[in-house]
Amino acid sequence: MSAALLAVEGLQVGFDTERGPLRAVDGLSLQVDEGEVVAIVGESGSGKSAAALAIMGLSGREGASVAGSVRLEGEELIGAPQRRLREIRGARIAMVFQDPMSSLNPVRRIGDQIAEQIRAHERLPRAQARERAVASLRRAGIADAERRAHAYPHELSGGLRQRAMIAMALSCSPQLIIADEPTTALDVTIQAQVLSELARLRAEDGTAVLLITHDLGVVAGIADRVVVMYAGQAVEQGSAEQVFADPQHPCTWGLLGSIPRIESERAQRLASIPGAPPSPLALPPGCRFAERCPHAFERCAEPVELLARAAPDGGRDAGGSREGHDDLERAERARVAPGHLDRCVLAPELKRARRLVGGRIGL
């Protein structure tokens, strides 16, 4: 293992519900290196937020059982004593939540809430912690930080609240920030600000970011690597270039096709994913995406592993479409793009042809 900051292996997050046990996350593996931005993308219910909470060691509180391995610079976090996890939370891994309004305590001042986190990790007099809080508000791009520190959450606009959340995450200079849908509740213009703020922090401080979102469009400008999740599993992962230029899994195609673009033809349908995700209580044994996939065939009823299948050339020269998926699959396995994994057995050539809908990638 090289300089893996965070290494997640075979992460399982399960819940006992009234209608039986379910697996919100089913064997997720990913790695975040120092100063890297990794995005987890998926529809709601795909398990991406459950994975984030499990990495923070917070899902036990919410009634989940967690298995697998989460290592921070080699130190195993799953099963670590709460005391140790508390030292890590906020100080080395910090979290930014989706809705800054409900994620900040409404009756306490912004500055106090940040100072509280600083004092939980460092022995500092109150006044000094407050100064640090103001400094980190400033660092998160808040003009007039002094005055904002005195404000209550409801006195700030949505964008400022999210910046305050980011300031809080920054306050102890963490190595990793987990941002769970940090821009979903925000206007597009504010979203752009928050994203450029995250990018700037990564550039200036080398803070790694695990960005969790349902919107692949948000990810392109900022992520180094992308993990696409569906029904608790990673269905595709690779570098941002690989995933956007040569997406292998139909779920990724659908997520890309869902994004409306201003240059697209007005009357054109969005090449989105039809239907709804399967119930996590009754998952099919084969490909979990098959029932929503227009390209599914017999082989999709069998379990599919996450493997490197994509061609190394990034799919730029689309070859002739030959039939006989399994032969091709075997042949392709010899020369595949490193680090570009997916869970679809369709032959790469076929994928290249089928993912184009009206000249763009879609489902």
Q: Of 102, 128, 173, 279, which lies in the binding site for other proteins, with binding defined by CB under 8 A?
A: 102
Q: Of 261, 303, 327, 339, which lies in the binding site for other proteins, with binding defined by CB under 8 A?
A: 261
Task: Tell me the number of residues near other proteins by CB under 8 A.
Answer: 80
Does 256 help bind other proteins (rule: CB under 8 A)?
A: yes
Question: Listing from the earlier edge strand, what are the strands of the sheet with 20-33?
Answer: 20-33, 4-17, 64-72, 75-76
Nearer of residues 32 and 114 to other proteins, judged by Cβ: 114
Q: Which of the 8 DSSP states describes residue 173?
A: -
Does 126 help bind other proteins (rule: CB under 8 A)?
A: no
How do beta strands 341-342 and 233-239 pair?
A: antiparallel
Query: How distant is the alpha carbon of residue 314 from its chain centre?
Result: 23
Does 157 help bind other proteins (rule: CB under 8 A)?
A: yes
What is the CB-side half-sphere exposure of residue 142 using CA atoms within 13 A?
Answer: 31
Q: Segment 221-240, which members bind other proteins (CB under 8 A)?
A: 221-223, 240
Q: Of 97, 139, 248, 296, which lies in the binding site for other proteins, with binding defined by CB under 8 A?
A: 97
The site string for other proteins over 162-191 (x = CB under 8 A, - otherwise) reads: ------x------------------xxxxx
**Closest by Cα among 244, 193, 251 to 219:** 244
121 and 89 in contact (C-beta within 8 Å)?
no
Does 329 help bind other proteins (rule: CB under 8 A)?
A: no
Query: Locate tokens 């998160």: which residue?
Result: 140
Q: Segment 70-89, which members bind other proteins (CB under 8 A)?
A: 82, 86-89
Both tokens of 74, joined, read 């080699």
How do beta strands 233-239 and 356-357 pair?
A: unpaired
Q: Which stretch binds other proteins (CB under 8 A): 2-10, 269-277, 324-332, 334-342?
A: 269-277
Q: Which stretch binds other proteins (CB under 8 A): 13-21, 25-33, 216-224, 330-338?
A: 216-224
Taking the complex as a whole, how short is the minimal distance between the CB of residue 200 and other proteins, in angstroms? 10
Q: Segment 11-70, which members bind other proteins (CB under 8 A)?
A: 43-44, 56, 58, 61-62
Nearer of residues 94 and 145 to other proteins, judged by Cβ: 94
Does 273 help bind other proteins (rule: CB under 8 A)?
A: yes
Both tokens of 17, joined, read 């519900």
Question: Listing from the earlier edge strand, what are the strands of the sheet with 208-213?
Answer: 93-96, 176-180, 208-213, 37-41, 225-230, 233-239, 341-342, 307-308
